[in-house]
Amino acid sequence: MAKYWSRPAAEALKADGLRIADLDTSATPGFSGDKAMGLGLLAERATLLSGLQEKLYANGRSGDKRSVLLVLQGMDTAGKGGIVRHVIGSVDPQGVDHAAFSVPTPEEKRHHYLWRIRKALPRGGQLGVFDRSHYEDVLVVRVHNLVPPAEWEPRYDEINAFERELVDEGITLVKVAMFVSLDEQKRRLRQRLERPDKYWKFNPADIDERAYWPAYQDAYQAMVDRTSTAYAPWHVIPADRKWFSRLAVTELLIDALETLKLDWPSAKFDVEEELRRLDKA
């Protein structure tokens, strides 16, 4: 376990029994260090993460079918993009399968909601990242009645069965739900309006969505209550402090990769023989 952690991040951030409406979004569960310590540790741990990811990739190149999939959920401004840029950004991009899920296209709408998800699953050896996911189909869809309850209600069980299938196929799921406070969201949205380099992230609809905050909290609560399983648990990350959420996700990914107990793939050639050949070449 990394220093300054009183217990593993995977344990400290477990969603079990947690009331999302009561969450202190500025807390740093399990971590006793301050921001400077957190940032120092993050740099150290990013190097470890990158090494582990390279091992996963190397094994994938040798036919290993296993992969890791980070599923990111959170309201606008929760910091999903920051995780992609700063955490995933520390590993080799050729080993990353990234997918962002927005409002379904007309073609996607003609299919089952898991259709676009299946197409984007990581290949063997890859670190997959979902910026939003199939969970939008029990979040925004539920909050805005995009389909009737009779249609979204069975999705929780369906998602559990789907994820069971993925785990059985060798995909380790790391599910992360990030939460900022309503005030912190306002601060971040204001920044998007005050800084020309952030206009591109602003969507006027984000302001309207704030009126649905309690409905989203209910939907997120139902999501973690009903789809946190032993094989694919949810982690809830207080995200007012960006350094903490980035460190926490780094730790969760390290934990997932270490659980795979990866070695470097063995040589598929005679090393001594190749050295002799090289000498003479």
CB 4 within 8 A of CB 39: no
Alpha carbons 56 and 25: distance in angstroms, whole number: 33
The strand pairing partners of 178, in sequence order, are: 74, 237
Q: What are phi and psi of 131, to 5 degrees?
A: -90, 100
Query: C-beta of 92: minimal distance to ligand AMP in Å?
Result: 25
Of 107, 169, 114, whose CA–CA distance to 138 is shortest?
Answer: 114
Q: Which of 4, 26, 120, 132 binds ligand AMP (CB under 6 A)?
A: 132
Of 134, 137, 123, 135, whose CA–CA distance to 170 is shortest?
Answer: 123
Q: Which of 64, 76, 158, 240 binds ligand AMP (CB under 6 A)?
A: 76
By a kind-dependent CB cut-off of 5 to 8 A, residue 39 interacts, out of Mg ion, ligand AMP, none, with none
By a kind-dependent CB cut-off of 5 to 8 A, residue 198 interacts, out of Mg ion, ligand AMP, none, with none
Q: Which of 64, 76, 158, 184 binds Mg ion (CB under 5 A)?
A: 76
The residue (of 96 and 257) whose beta carbon lies closer to ligand AMP is 96
Q: What are phi and psi of 140, to 5 degrees?
A: -55, -35
Span of 36-44, 48-56, 138-146, 226-234 interacting with ligand AMP by CB under 6 A:
138-146
By a kind-dependent CB cut-off of 5 to 8 A, residue 103 interacts, out of Mg ion, ligand AMP, none, with ligand AMP
For the chain, where are the E strands, in sequence order?
A: 67-74, 96-100, 127-131, 171-179, 234-238
By a kind-dependent CB cut-off of 5 to 8 A, residue 2 interacts, out of ligand AMP, Mg ion, none, with none
Q: Which of 70, 72, 141, 224 binds ligand AMP (CB under 6 A)?
A: 141
Which residues of the chain form contacts with ligand AMP (CB under 6 A)? 76, 101-104, 132, 136-137, 140-141, 146
